[in-house]
Amino acid sequence: MDLKIYKDKQEVAEQFSSYFADKQKDKDAFYVALSGGSTPKIVFDVLVEKFSDKVDWSKVHFYWGDERCVSPTDDESNYKMTVEHLFSKIKVPKENINRILGEKSPEGEALRYANLLEMDLDRVEEVPQFDLVILGMGDDGHTASIFPHEIELWDSEDHCVVATHPDSGQKRVSINGKVINTAKEVAFLVTGASKAEKVKAVVEKTEGSEAYPASLVNPALGNLLWFLDEAAAARLNQNPS
């Protein structure tokens, strides 16, 4: 596990962008699963402002780790956020953008997307392998859209599952734990003081932390990187910065 701790959200976004630009550099094709949430939003802004000419966007193939089951024009849509903050500002071939269709029936879409991943990506023991999965972590320890009350979805047979947000009841389509842990690299982007308690639990594996889906992230074949700001890292015992 590689823990990177930076001053604030802006610095996290800059460092992650630089890491991202570097990662795709020597590849002919780079398969990435994006996440929703507030940190990716600023990462996309920084990618556009400072790195748009350092990335060969035609080689980057975009997928999502999770999507809210709403239309692509809804403010809740992770795809819409990505269009506004990234795709509308860079030159990326349309066929490189593989969104989860949030407007379709969730069960059918989970199946369709799982098939798409199987066709497009290399597979390791039948599990599609991303070059990079970007994850956020919720205040409750959820990641992608696997929430603590449905933690069994992590080990589902299907590569993509239908999840339900615990408060709003909103349906989500999410990749499962096997797909996350088969990735060549997984990067958590976590910022803000509200995350400090769960960051400590998950990183230090404190008692009871197994209840948080984020604690199950453990890429067997690859690297796990945490991009944290000081506020999110504040409760760690060994603050390496």
Q: Which of 13, 37, 69, 132 is in the footprint of ligand 6PG by CB under 6 A?
A: 37
Q: Does 143 bind ligand 6PG (CB under 6 A)?
A: yes
Distance CA 134, CA 86 (A): 15
Residue nearest ligand 6PG (C-beta atom)? 136
Binding mask 47-66 for ligand 6PG (x = CB under 6 A): -------------------x
Q: Does 177 bind ligand 6PG (CB under 6 A)?
A: no
Binding mask 83-122 for ligand 6PG (x = CB under 6 A): ----------------------------------------
Single out the residue of 17, 42, 46 nearest to residue 32, CA to CA: 17
Helices 38-51 and 78-85, axial angle in degrees (round to 10): 20
Q: Does 77 bind ligand 6PG (CB under 6 A)?
A: no
- Contact (CB, 8 A) for 34 and 80: no
| CB nearer ligand 6PG, residue 9 or residue 23 | 9
Shortest separation between residue 106's beta carbon and ligand 6PG, angstroms = 14
| CB nearer ligand 6PG, residue 143 or residue 215 | 143
Q: What are the Cα distances from residue 57, in Å, to 98, 143, 173, 179, 193?
A: 14, 26, 26, 23, 33
Q: Tokens 């403010």 map to which residue? A: 75
Q: Does 138 bind ligand 6PG (CB under 6 A)?
A: yes
- Contact (CB, 8 A) for 43 and 75: no
